[in-house]
């Protein structure tokens, strides 16, 4: 028997609905909150250490730094140790919460929200940060005149090239969630069921 046009239309791929929001009760995990707070503080300490002898490029180097040519062994060890786990954990947690958020919205609503929260800050930072940073360094560190400061800001703005600085995380996460939302239903369905089971069983 040839299926009718109505039945064929009903079989078209749609976003998987695991359960209605009313039946999905997510209990806030204080352990995840504590982990996120710890990682955020760790990132702050990590980047604060860079001007004082840590491994990594930074626009400013402290004048009191006693390691002009090589990095401090202790600070470099701290930086390297952080790189082994903290950004990977951030991606893991972001994927976890994104999987929960995407089942509460349509595909269009979810992507619109992510592009607004991740894409807009990434774009603004990449366009403005280099010029503003040049201006601050010229004014505060080098004590240059306002004419030179404005010129340095303009040079920085013209030198904008792609994603730079700490917003690489936002840009990469945006690529991940966009790719994940573009995939068809079966595997996403199983993953979302697994996320839901974690909360139902806990």
State whether 196 and 101 are in the same domain.
Answer: yes
State whether 115 and 177 are in the same domain.
Answer: yes
State whether 55 and 98 are in the same domain.
Answer: no
Domain that holds residue 198: 87-202
The mean per-residue pLDDT over the stretch 6-22 comes to: 46
Cβ proximity of 135 and 99 under 8 Å: no
| Residue-level pLDDT at 39 | 92
How far apart CA 150 and CA 163 sit, in angstroms, is: 23
Cβ proximity of 105 and 16 under 8 Å: no
State whether 72 and 127 are in the same domain.
Answer: no
Vertex 196 angle, CA 190 and 201, to 5° = 120
* In 24-145, alpha helices (H): 30-49, 73-83, 86-102, 107-114, 120-136
Is 181 domain-assigned? yes
Give the total number of structural domains in the chain. 2
The beta-carbon contacts of 85-92 under 8 Å, at least 24 apart in sequence, are 86/39, 86/42, 86/43, 86/46, 87/169, 89/35, 89/39, 90/39, 90/169, 91/172, 91/173, 91/176
Q: Which residue among 84, 114, 130 closes a domain?
A: 84
Question: Residue 9 above 60 pLDDT?
Answer: no
**Per-residue model confidence as pLDDT tens digits over 172-199:** 999 888 888 776 454 455 555 555 555 5
**Per-residue model confidence as pLDDT tens digits over 81-112:** 998 999 899 998 888 888 888 778 788 888 88
Is 18 domain-assigned? no
State whether 166 and 197 are in the same domain.
Answer: yes
How far apart CA 40 and CA 45 sit, in angstroms, is: 9
pTM above the 0.75 mark? Answer: no
């Amino acid at each position: 028997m040839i299926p009718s046009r109505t039945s064929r239309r009903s079989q078209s791929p749609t976003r998987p609905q695991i359960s209605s929001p009313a039946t999905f009760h997510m209990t806030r995990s204080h352990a995840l909150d504590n982990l996120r707070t710890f990682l955020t503080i760790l990132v702050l300490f990590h980047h604060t250490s860079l001007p004082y002898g840590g491994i990594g490029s930074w626009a400013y180097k402290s004048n009191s730094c006693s390691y002009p040519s090589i990095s401090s062994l202790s600070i470099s060890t701290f930086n390297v140790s952080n790189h082994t786990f903290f950004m990977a954990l951030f991606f893991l947690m972001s994927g976890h919460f994104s999987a929960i958020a995407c089942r509460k919205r349509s595909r269009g609503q979810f992507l619109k929200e992510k592009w607004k929260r991740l894409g807009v800050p990434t774009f603004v930072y990449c366009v403005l940060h280099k010029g503003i940073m040049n201006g601050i360094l010229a004014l505060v560190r080098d004590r240059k005149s306002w004419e030179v400061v404005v010129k340095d800001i303009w040079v920085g703005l013209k030198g904008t090239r792609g994603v730079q600085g700490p917003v690489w995380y936002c840009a990469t996460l945006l690529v991940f969630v966009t790719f994940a939302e573009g995939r068809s239903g079966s595997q996403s369905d199983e993953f979302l069921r697994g996320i839901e089971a974690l909360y139902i069983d806990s």
